[in-house]
Amino acid sequence: MDTLSYLIAGFGAALSPANLTFAIIGCVLGTLIGVLPGVGPAAGTAILIPLTFKLDPTGAIIMLSAIYYGAMYGGTITSVLLNVPGEAASVITCIDGYEMAKQGRGGTALGIAAIGSFIGGIIATMALVLVATPLSSLALKFGPPEFFALMLLGLCLVTGLAGRSLIAGILMTAVGLLIAMVGIDPVRGAPRFTFGMPDLYDGVGFIPVVMGLFGIGEILATAEKPYKDVIKTNLSNLLPSAEEWRNSLGAIFRGTGLGFFLGLIPGVGSIIPTFMSYILEKRISKTPERFGNGAIEGVAGPETANNSYANAAMVPLLTLGIPSSPTIAVLMGAFIINGLTPGPFLFQEKPELVWAIIASFFIGNVLLLILNLPLVGLWAKILEVPYQYVCAGTLLFCIIGAYSLNQSTFDIWLMLGFGIIGYALRKLDLPLAPAVLGLILGPQLEKSLRTSLEMSAGAYDIFYTRPITLVLLILSALILVISALNLAPKEIRVSED
């Protein structure tokens, strides 16, 4: 079967009543997560994994993917109406989105964000369809050394662009990798760092760690600050004027390209495309002084880049098995919970599942547009729910999510411990994303390193005599050098999710 036939079959599966319902539920829940302050997409997706336990793998992944991109859009609403980003990628939208809301143009800001997200998402998914098959075929030729170098590249990108110190970024990655070493050794099968505790034989659960770092940690940080009031703005006029359309169209298409390109690179967090889009729009604008004072391009470009990135970031996950951000890493965890290993072999072994998921991205983008434009008033109302109730509800879902993974209170303790650590790291401005990616990639990174060295009978030349491995390792080193010399633009030196 060719790509088109697979895609048509995928649409058939994704449009089945059950899967369509899961996509709708996912989009609604995702948008809700994005809207609620204190719950980011990574923690939100992790918390909702138990909802999918009894679903078949296709339905479960469709729903969780919909939660993911729903959350990526939902963050825009709080950015515009509260000046508080619902998730990291919406930080930049606060600048002009909130200004637009103050000028009574909040509806237009949310409207252009929804339209831009739709265009960016659909184009990025089309591009995903085009590149997925060739890339997965190429990845099938990769051996352990290439995979080791590729994962190292991903970690270097996250590390190099994370926070204000390269060394702190590397240290956080190393912490994540070290935690990943706990459990049964992936090559020899012997217990390691388990301290005789049977709960640790399966390793430190990735989902409780994410819920702790990004869920509990964020709730504790939010509980510290006074809660902001929702701004009263005009939400009846969602469609931009002719002039606003003229200003936005270019930004939307540039944002699409930028988001897609950066989404393909493993390790580039969701915040970078939005910042780069904003910087690009401001630099090429004939009236840059409008930026910061309610320029619609300042919302259209970054929001489009955000959704384009969100869809493109599925490419490295589906074709190479490499997550680009903590949220994608949670999705990878969901694949694994459902007995699936994302990567090139999935295209060979379960093409019907992969293409149903890809087809669901198209459907999800349409659903988000349908849900978000007419329901924007409802989402704004949800923002008025007192934070105490949001906080208590989120904490309960965290407890259920952590417990239901293994029916063990050990995972709740783990989540609580990592929540306190996450809160402390936030206060110290130490990056969390490298630790999370280190944790999820650790077992594979170690396995590919050790298998490579077994292949070469312990000789390290296996890493510089294979061209792809060598290129990837040189790129990794270059990223670290650029970061060490502070050559990366300051505006993009943050990569939390």
Partner 1 sequence: MKRGWQLASLGLMALFAYAIWLSANLPLIDELGPGPGFFPLWLGIIGLLLGTILIVQVTRAPDDGPSVAELMPDAAAFFRIGAIIVVLAFVTLGFEQVGYRITAFVFSIAVLLALGARSPVAIGIFAVCASFGVFHAFYYWLKVPLPIGTLGI
Q: Does 457 bind partner 1 (CB under 8 A)?
A: yes
Rounded to the nearest whole angstrom, what is the least distance from the CB of residue 388 to partner 1 in the complex? 4
241 near partner 1, rule: CB under 8 A: no
With binding defined as CB under 8 A, does residue 430 bind partner 1? yes
Structure tokens at 237: 């006029």
Subset of 51-90 contacting partner 1 (CB under 8 A): 51, 53-54
The residue assigned the tokens 């006029």 is: 237
The residue among 140 and 187 lying less far from partner 1, judged by its C-beta, is 187
Size of site (CB under 8 A) for partner 1: 59
Cβ–Cβ under 8 Å, residues 164 and 422: no
Count of C-beta atoms within a 10 Å radius of residue 337: 18
> Is the Cβ–Cβ distance between 213 and 195 less than 8 Å?
no
Is residue 399 part of the contact set for partner 1 (CB under 8 A)?
yes
Percent of residues in the chain assigned helix, strand, coil, to nearest 5:
75, 0, 25
C-alpha–C-alpha distance, residues 255 and 236, integer Å? 26
CB of 60 to partner 1, least distance (A): 12
Rounded Cα distance between 98 and 214, Å, is 25
Residue among 54 and 283 whose Cβ is closer to partner 1: 54
As given in the structure block, the two tokens for residue 121 are: 């998402």
Of positions 1, 198, 201, 224, contacts partner 1 by CB under 8 A: 224
Nearer to partner 1 by C-beta: 30 or 111? 30
290 vs 450, which CB is nearer to partner 1? 450
Q: How far is the CB of 181 from partner 1 (least distance, A)?
A: 5
268 Ramachandran zone, left/alpha/beta (phi>0; psi -120 to 50): beta
The dihedral through the CA atoms of 7, 13, 14, 17 has a sign that is positive
Near partner 1 by CB under 8 A: residue from 39, 64, 170, 235: 170
Q: Is the dihedral of CA 280, 281, 286, 292 positive or negative?
A: negative
Within 10 angstroms of residue 333's Cβ, the number of other Cβ atoms is 21
Q: Say whether residue 21 binds partner 1 (CB under 8 A).
A: no
CB 262 within 8 A of CB 212: no
Give the whole-angstrom CA distance, residue 321 versus residue 306: 21
Rounded to a whole number of angstroms, the minimum distance from the CB of residue 275 to partner 1 is 22
Residue whose CB is less far from partner 1, 265 or 400: 400
C-beta separation of 161 from 492 below 8 A: yes
Contact range with partner 1 by CB under 8 A, out of 143-151, 344-352, 365-373, 408-416: 408-416
One character per residue 121-160, x = contact with partner 1 (rule: CB under 8 A): ----------------------------------------
Site string for partner 1, 465-494 (x = CB under 8 A): ------------------------------
Are the C-beta atoms of residues 246 and 454 closer than 8 Å to each other? no
* Residue whose pair of structure tokens reads 């969701």 in the numeric block: 270
Per-residue three-class SS string for 117-139: HHHHHHHHHHHHHHHHHHHHHHH
Torsion angle of C-alpha atoms 299, 301, 305, 306, degrees rounded to 10: 0
Rounded to whole angstroms, the Cα distance separating 144 from 157 reads 20
Minimum CB separation of residue 103 from partner 1 in Å reads 33
> b or e along 483-497 (b: 16 or more beta carbons within 10 Å of the residue's beta carbon)?
beeeebeeebbbbbb
Q: Is 496 in the site for partner 1 (CB under 8 A)?
A: no
Q: Does 429 contact partner 1 by CB under 8 A? A: yes
Least separation in angstroms between residue 218's CB and partner 1 is 12
State which of residues 39, 101, 109, 216 lies at the interface with partner 1 (CB under 8 A): 216
What is the nearest approach in angstroms of partner 1 to the Cβ of residue 336? Answer: 18
Q: From the list 219, 268, 272, 310, which residue makes contact with partner 1 (rule: CB under 8 A)?
A: 219
Examine residue 196 and tell whether it contacts partner 1 (CB under 8 A): no
User: What single-letter DSSP state applies at residue 86?
Assistant: S
**Residue 193 binds partner 1, judged by CB under 8 A:** yes
Judged by beta carbon, residue 169 or residue 273, the one nearer partner 1 is 169
Single out the segment in contact with partner 1 by CB under 8 A; choices: 1-9, 19-27, 285-293, 414-422. Answer: 414-422
Answer yes or no whether residue 382 interacts with partner 1 by CB under 8 A. Answer: no
From 376, 91, 114, 103, select the one nearest 231 (Cα to Cα). 103
User: Least CB distance from residue 442 to partner 1, whole Å?
Assistant: 9
Question: Is 190 an interacting residue with respect to partner 1 (CB under 8 A)?
Answer: yes
* 389 part of the interface to partner 1, by CB under 8 A: yes
- 225 part of the interface to partner 1, by CB under 8 A: yes
Closest CA to 497 of 259, 168, 158, 171: 158
Q: Return the number of the residue (336 or 396) whose C-beta is nearest partner 1.
A: 396
Distance linking the first and last C-alpha atoms of the chain: 37
| CB burial of residue 102 (10 Å; 0-12, 13-18, 19+) | middle
- Give residues in contact with partner 1 (CB under 8 A): 50-51, 53-54, 165, 167-168, 170-171, 174-175, 177-178, 181, 185, 187-188, 190, 192-193, 216, 219-220, 223-225, 386-389, 391-393, 395-396, 399-400, 403-404, 407, 409, 412-413, 416, 419-420, 423, 425, 427-430, 446, 449-450, 453-454, 457-458
